[in-house]
Amino acid sequence: MTRDEAKNKIIFALDVDNLKDIDGWAEKLSTKVGMFKVGKELFTSAGPAAVEAVKRHGGEVFLDLKYHDIPNTVAQAMLAAGRLGVKLANLHALGGPEMMEKASQAVRKEFSDNERPRLLAVTILTSSTQDTLKAVGIEHPVEEMVVRLAKLAKESGMDGVVASPLEIGAIRAACGPDFLIVTPGVRPSFAAVDDQKRIMTPAEAVKSGADYLVIGRPIAKATDPVQAAELIVDEIMAGGQ
Ligand code: C5P
């Protein structure tokens, strides 16, 4: 794996709430990571300007808004995400096949294959346990639901899923080599574990089959964030195929 390929696997989680901080991070890291994740807190605070700020610094965006609504509303929201020029956007697979199909068809109709955002499904949130599922009436084991929803997402036109590192193997086996797997819960060997519980190192996650790694605090809280990003690239390459 080349250095560029390893770098492009890193998605930096922009867990900030204002445009000024985005400028700071994007300026520092746009040549050091492959993409920036804009989530609900930042998008609710700063709106589309958050995406524009990253792009102004030459960065690409994963819009992590996890849509779950009636099919028409989700399809329109995905089109809006595409018009903002994001590379990745996501929705909840629990919204069902019609919701995912409509979203997939809408973006494929409006954008060329090169330009369209890649659509990811969230299967079961990693914060959910067996008890969480039971409380909402789902009696199946979490692992079974994760694979079932990943397969459904693929059949419904999704390009991939967001998954915990420990789910990568089962999803890869069920959904094949071309299905994108994006994983948070990654901790480089030099970093603190923070509140992440089911973790892997970047090299382990890539070896298990992850296409992209979402990494926040190991870079954001490092004394030297640029060096931390470079060390993560080193780790991916050292473990790489
Ligand atoms: O700082 P850290 O590397 O833990 O950040 C990971 C990012 O991925 C955060 O934005 C967090 O909300 C997100 N995330 C996560 N674990 C999940 C799903 C998403 O840490 N299971």
| Cβ of residue 71 lying under 6 Å from some atom of ligand 1 | no
Question: Does position 240 have pLDDT exceeding 90, yes or no?
Answer: no
| Cβ of residue 16 lying under 6 Å from some atom of ligand 1 | no
pLDDT score, position 15: 97
pLDDT score, position 194: 87
Residue 9 contacts residue 236 (beta carbons within 8 Å): yes
Say how many C-beta atoms besides its own lie within 10 A of residue 203's C-beta. 20
Please state, for a pLDDT cut of 90, what percent of the chain lies above it: 94
pLDDT score, position 195: 86
pLDDT digits (tens, 9 = 90+) for 149-163: 999 999 999 999 999
| Cβ of residue 185 lying under 6 Å from some atom of ligand 1 | yes
55, 66, 151, 207: which one is catalytic?
66
pLDDT digits (tens, 9 = 90+) for 131-183: 999 999 999 999 999 999 999 999 999 999 999 999 999 999 999 999 999 99
Taking residues 57-63, what's their average pLDDT?
A: 97
Domains of the chain: total: 1
pTM, 2 dp = 0.96
Taking residues 102-108, what's their average pLDDT?
A: 98
Taking residues 92-117, what's their average pLDDT?
A: 98
Q: How confident is the model at residue 39 (pLDDT cuts 50, 70, 90)?
A: very high
What percentage of the chain's residues is helix, strand, coil (to nearest 5)?
A: 50, 15, 35
Taking residues 198-214, what's their average pLDDT?
A: 94
Domain assignment of residue 115, given as a range: 3-240
pLDDT score, position 108: 98
The span from the CA of 55 to the CA of 35, in Å, is 10
Helix (H, G, I), strand (E, B) or coil at 141: coil
How high is the mean pLDDT of the chain? 96
pLDDT score, position 59: 97
Q: How distant, in Å, are the alpha carbons of 24, 70, 88, 182, 214 from that of 9? A: 21, 32, 13, 9, 9
CATH of the domain at 64: 3.20.20.70
* Distance from the alpha carbon of residue 109 to the mean position of ligand 1, in angstroms: 32
pLDDT score, position 241: 53
Give the contacts of 230 (CB within 8 A, at least 6 positions apart). 32
Give the contacts of 236 (CB within 8 A, at least 6 positions apart). 1, 6, 9, 10, 202, 203, 206, 213
Question: Does position 56 have pLDDT exceeding 70, yes or no?
Answer: yes
pLDDT score, position 36: 98
To test the pocket of ligand 1, the residue of 125, 214, 217, 219 to mutate (highest count of ligand atoms within 8 Å of its CB) is: 214
| Cβ of residue 117 lying under 6 Å from some atom of ligand 1 | no
Question: Does position 239 have pLDDT exceeding 90, yes or no?
Answer: no
Taking residues 104-120, what's their average pLDDT?
A: 98
